[in-house]
Structure 1
Amino acid sequence: MKPYFSDQDVTLYLGDAIEILPTLGTLDAVVTDPPYGETSLDWDIYPNGWPQLVAGHTSSMWCFGSMRMFLDHFDDFAGWRMSQDVVWNKGRGTSPATDRFRRVHEHVLHWYRGPWRDIYHETPRVQLMGRARGGRSSRHPGPSTHSAYGPSTWQDTGARLVESVLHAPKDVTSVSTNPTQKPVGVLELLITYSVPPGGIVLDPFAGSGSAAVAARHTGRRAVLIEKREEQCEAIAQRLAQGVLDLSAEA
């Protein structure tokens, strides 16, 4: 199949993911935001069966979604195991309902297949400001310790695990090409965690193409699928700007 857009980092296909996925080869991980099927918008139709098709190409997958979406389509994820869930706090409510809590978050679940030890995962850490307190110096590592996850040698370099609630409010001044855009910064964390440097990430529901922007920023490549031609054109124009796309949304 001829790509709609391609360069040394990104390949974008125009078409239905259900039809295109079987034609692809092996990829390192999926990072995607499928239609949730929760509105009357013509494009918001959940594509039944897509997690099973993806399983033929990768063993690692980050998927955005609401709790309702995951519960309604739980059988679609048969054969996948969930390793963790992350919450994106977007700072603004999006639900029109006025008789419920104002929903300002979305879930991002990491799924995998096969032994966990075989799944690439680079633990995300953030550097603390100033000198770390109460820990051993990295120059003098302590003795090996044991936990439920096996032996380790702990060194306090001032870095700490990134927390599972990611605060990344939408920036309404940024260029927006899709109503459900996700922050590039959040996607960078997910891609860095699950895709090795130089590896390939797949987004079968590309939307605005932010997974490709995040992949470029982190030294990875991307394969995208998008069924709306107007979105493919917007993605191509966005990617033509190069790696220095500083948009805060995806």
Structure 2
Amino acid sequence: MTSEPYYADATTTLYLGDMRDIVPRLDPVDLVLADPPYAETALAWDRWPDGWPTLAARASRSMWCFGSMRMFLARADEFGAWAMSQDVVWEKHNGSGFAGDRFRRVHEHAVHWYRGPWAEIHHQVPIVPHDGPDRGTRRAARAGAAHLGANNGHDRPWLDNGTRLTKSVIPVRSMHGRAIHPTEKPTAILTPLIEYGCPPGGTVLDPFAGSGSTALAARLLGRRAVLIEGDERYCDAIARRLSQLDLFAT
């Protein structure tokens, strides 16, 4: 590994190497978006990088991390520098489970972690169009909903403007049959996470870049991306992928 980027353009910087070596040398970023190896198989690449969540905490005060419930429970002590705010479920169209005695798993979790006062953390839930019935104006804290209290404006009048907050279960087709990396995430599941945790014009760090999808999602949203990938084959694939985008943009 060298200190020079493997690839760089106007919005993305890519490094080849172990994130544990590179992250300490980087400037702070607005958001970490991590998809680490879950360490749930015997595959050679599926090995948990010990200590990476603590290093990620040096880079940012906000992080989304993909994983399974098994992974998060097994590694809970390594997230000690972080407080959990919420989890989002990515619902895939097909499963990735290998056990015949369990439900077919067609989902993954993305957990949001933060450090410091919540009020200082950028968190903006994406708004999506709503094609259901117009509910008009009402009070959210109506009879029967008093348990909501006064949190988040539930005690104020609300006018239906045809939009809703993005739901915590997000159905997006997986990259099965189209992926250039075995754990590639589609940009459609990355964009709401980046929009939530990274302000416009901000920078997102992906310490396990894989296919480089985070850079594509960040670019679509007007954010910058810093990528780290330990396998040179995928660094080359990311560089070619991003270079082709730049070619079509000119």
The normalised TM-score by structure 1 is: 0.89
Q: Give the match for residue 65 of structure 2.
A: 63
Q: Which residue of 2 aligns with 1:139?
A: none
Deviation at 1:134, TM superposition (A): 2.9
Tell me if structure 2 keeps the 8 A contact 1:94–1:103: yes
Tell me the CA shift for residue 172 of structure 1. Answer: 4.1
1:217–1:243 Cα contact (<8 Å) kept:
no
Q: Which residue of 2 aligns with 1:135?
A: 137
State whether residues 68 and 109 of structure 2, in contact with CA within 8 Å, keep that contact through their aligned partners in structure 1: yes
Q: Deviations over 1:163-212 (max 9, x none)?
A: 111101225454x2101111101100000111011100000000100000
Match of 2:236 among 215, 229, 233: 233
Matched, 1:213 2:230: no
RMSD, aligned CA: 1.9
Distance 1:69 1:130 in 2: 37
Please name the residue that 2:24 is paired with.
Answer: 22
Trace 1:167-182 onto structure 2 (pairs within 5 A). 167-172=171-176, 174=178, 176-182=179-185
**Are the counterparts in 2 of residues 86 and 109 from structure 1 also a CA contact under 8 Å?**
yes
**Bigger Cα displacement from structure 2, 91-100 vs 154-163:** 154-163
How far is 1:79 from its partner? 2.4
For structure 2, the 5+ residue unaligned runs are: 139-148
Q: Which of 88, 92, 98 in structure 2 is aligned with 1:96?
A: 98
Q: Distance in 2 between matches of 1:28 and 1:243?
A: 24
Which of 188, 194, 199 does residue 197 from structure 2 map onto?
194
Name the stretch that deviates more: 196-205 or 90-99.
90-99
* Secondary structure of 2:48 counterpart: coil
**Which structure's residues are more often helix, by fraction?**
2
Structure 1 residues 243 and 135: CA distance shift in structure 2, 3 A: farther
TM-score (norm 2): 0.89
Distance 1:153 1:232, change over 3 A: farther
Separation in 2 of the partners of 1:191 and 1:93? 25
TM-superposed CA distance for 1:70, in Å, is: 0.6
Instruction: Indicate the percent of aligned positions where both proteins have the same amino acid.
Output: 55
Specify the alignment match of 1:106 in structure 2: 108
**Structure 1 residues 152 and 27: alpha-carbon distance in aligned structure 2, compared to 1, 3 A threshold:** farther
Q: Is the 8 A contact 1:17 1:204 kept in 2?
A: yes
- Corresponding residue for residue 147 of structure 1: 150
Partner SS state of residue 137, structure 2: coil
Question: Per-residue displacement from partner, 1:203-245 (whole Å, max 9, x unpaired)?
Answer: 0000100000000011100000000000000001111122799
**Paired AA for residue 218 in structure 1:** L
Deviation string, structure 1 residues 84-110 (Cα, Å, up to 9, x no partner) = 100001121111111111111101000
Extract structure 1 runs of 4+ deviating beyond 6 A: none
**Structure 1 residues 45 and 173, CA gap change in structure 2 (3 angstroms):** closer
SS in 1 for 2:81: coil
Q: Structure 1 residues 85 and 243, CA, compared in 2 at 3 Å: closer, same or farther?
A: farther
Query: In the alignment, is the contact (CA less than 8 A) between 1:126 and 1:159 conserved in 2?
Result: yes
2:11 is equivalent to residue 9 of structure 1: yes
Amino acid at match of 1:169: R
- TM-aligned CA distance change 1:40 to 1:121, over 3 Å: same
Pick closer, same or farther for the CA change 1:96–1:130 going to 2, 3 Å. Answer: closer
SS of corresponding position for 1:71: helix
Distance in 2, Cα, partners of 1:101 & 1:36? 19
The CA deviation string for residues 129-175 of structure 1, in whole angstroms up to 9 with x for no partner, is: 37723337xxxxxxxxx82246866442111111111101225454x
Report if aligned partners of 1:206, 1:224 keep a CA contact under 8 Å in 2: yes
Tell me the secondary structure at the aligned position of residue 55 of structure 1: helix
Segment drifting more, 42-51 vs 153-162: 153-162
Pairing 1:156–2:160 present: yes
